[in-house]
Every structure is written in C-alpha cells, then in structure tokens.
C-alpha cells in the first residue's frame, strides 16, 4: 500500500535652461516609448536545478554550514557538480531531543514539515520546470519523508495523511539517518534491519511514484534510524555514502 495519497542561503535632474529641459523631456519620452515596446523582463531567474536542504537536530540555522547542518557536504557536492544550480536551507527549529516523548522535538517536526511545504511551494510555483533535489539529515530527513510521502506522523502530532509536496518536479531525494526508516523500503541503502524510533507502519514502505527517486541511508548501529547505540554512525553517512549519493543524484538529473 502506498503511503502517499497525493493531493498532489545572493530624483529627476533639474532643468537649468529651457533648452536643457526640452532635451531632457524628449529623452524621457523616447525611453518611455522604448520601455513600453520592449518585452517585460522575467520576474525571477529560474535555475535548471534547485536544492532544498534540511538540517539535523541541534545544528544552527546560520554559521559555516549555512543552515544545512550535516546535510551541507551533500548539498555542496551537488552545487559543485552543476554550476548555476542554487540551494536554500529549510527554516525551522531543528531542536528538541529525538524521541517519541519530547514535546519540543515534536513541535519542531511539525514546524519543519510546514515550512518545507511552504518553501517548496513558493519556489516551485515560480519555477515550474526547475528540477528539484531534496536533502535532509536526521530530523531534516524526517520532515522531508513526512511531506513527500504522506501517511501522517501521529507520533509527531501530524494526523493529515496527505503528501504536501509530491505534486512538484522533484527528481532526487537523499535521506541520511531518517528515523522513519522501515525495513522493506526499496530505497533503503545500508545494513539496518530494524526500523527507526518513529518507524512507519509496515504497510507504508512505499513513497509511491518517488520510490526510485530516493536513497535513505541507515546502518544497524545507528541509534536513531535503527536500534543501535552509536551516534558516530548516525553522524557518519556523508563519509560512508557521500560519493554514492552524488552518483545517484547525477543519475537522476542526467
């Protein structure tokens, strides 16, 4: 059963003589006619590729990682591979303690899903042909998972099961350390065989038409996306899968 019921950080000059005034008026008139005849400039310049990055819990919205947290090297690799591409960080709290009981964490997830949805809709509404790439790490992966694949997230207080961004031109999705990981997902990469602390139900292992567009990285020792005890494993997916992730994105973007 698909989990996706689609609803689908770059005053006029004074005239000093009558002759000067007449000349100035003539120039203004000519420029006005010219501007009316010229085609209107585009409101925005749309890149071929645009990346949305969502940071992990406890990382800053500013600073050297530019609001991407542990997703930063993944985002940077894609930007470097595609000159002219652009990126923006999802603005959300990314705070709390990752668990099923921490109210701050749950509120952050809800805010993240809402802001991610708003930012993607805003950009995609202006640049409909731009290819979109989504990169989220840990809590950032979770909010992308919830927004793209739908199905609700009752443990985080999200009862609406509709996907909120699945209608847009999304070509590739990277989800390292996603605590919604569920064994059986076709897009899983890693050796985890146990789901995350907020794993989806067994009947939500598909993200519908986006199954082939996703890579979700999770290893057995990870304390958040699986049932391990290692924070180092959770934080180490770029070192382990960075080159694989870039190759995957390239295969999706062409």
pLDDT tens sequence across 27-43: 333 333 333 333 333 44
Give helix 72-81 / helix 237-253 axis angle, nearest 10°. Answer: 40
The CATH topology of domain 49-253 is Rossmann fold (3.40.50)
**What is the DSSP code (8-state) at residue 223?**
T
Strand 86-89, strand 188-189: pairing? unpaired
User: What's the chain's average pLDDT?
Assistant: 87
**What is the DSSP code (8-state) at residue 184?**
T
Q: Which residues are catalytic?
A: 138, 222, 234
Q: Which H or E run contains 78?
A: helix 72-81
- Whether residue 222 contacts residue 138, with contact meaning beta carbons closer than 8 Å, is answered with no
List pLDDT tens digits, range 109-119.
999 999 999 99
> Which pTM does this prediction carry?
0.83
Mean pLDDT of 93-120: 97
Task: Grade residue 179 by pLDDT with cuts at 50, 70 and 90.
Answer: very high
| Cα 227 from Cα 205, distance rounded (Å) | 18
């Amino acid at each position: 059963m698909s989990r996706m019921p689609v609803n689908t950080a770059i005053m006029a000059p004074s005239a000093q003589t009558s002759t000067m005034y007449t000349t100035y008026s003539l120039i203004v008139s000519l420029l006005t006619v010219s501007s009316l005849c010229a085609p209107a400039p585009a409101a925005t310049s749309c890149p071929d590729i645009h990346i949305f990055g969502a940071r992990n819990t406890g990382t800053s919205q500013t600073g050297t990682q530019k609001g991407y947290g542990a997703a930063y090297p993944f985002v940077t690799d894609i930007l470097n591979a595609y000159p002219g591409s652009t990126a923006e960080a999802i603005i959300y709290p990314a705070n709390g303690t990752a668990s099923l009981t921490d109210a701050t964490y749950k509120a952050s997830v809800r805010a993240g899903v809402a802001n991610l949805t708003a930012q993607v809709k805003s950009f995609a509404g202006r640049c409909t042909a731009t290819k979109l790439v989504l990169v989220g790490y840990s809590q950032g992966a979770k909010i992308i998972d919830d927004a793209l694949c739908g199905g609700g997230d009752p443990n985080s207080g999200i009862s609406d099961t509709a996907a909120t961004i699945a209608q847009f031109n999304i070509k590739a999705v990277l989800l390292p350390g996603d605590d919604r990981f569920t064994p059986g997902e076709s897009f899983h990469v890693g050796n985890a065989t146990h789901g995350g602390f907020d794993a989806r139900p067994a009947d939500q292992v598909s993200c519908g038409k986006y199954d082939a567009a996703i890579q979700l990285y999770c290893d057995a020792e990870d304390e958040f996306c699986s049932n391990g005890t290692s924070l180092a494993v959770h934080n180490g997916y770029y070192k382990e899968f960075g080159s694989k992730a870039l190759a995957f994105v390239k295969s999706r973007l062409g």
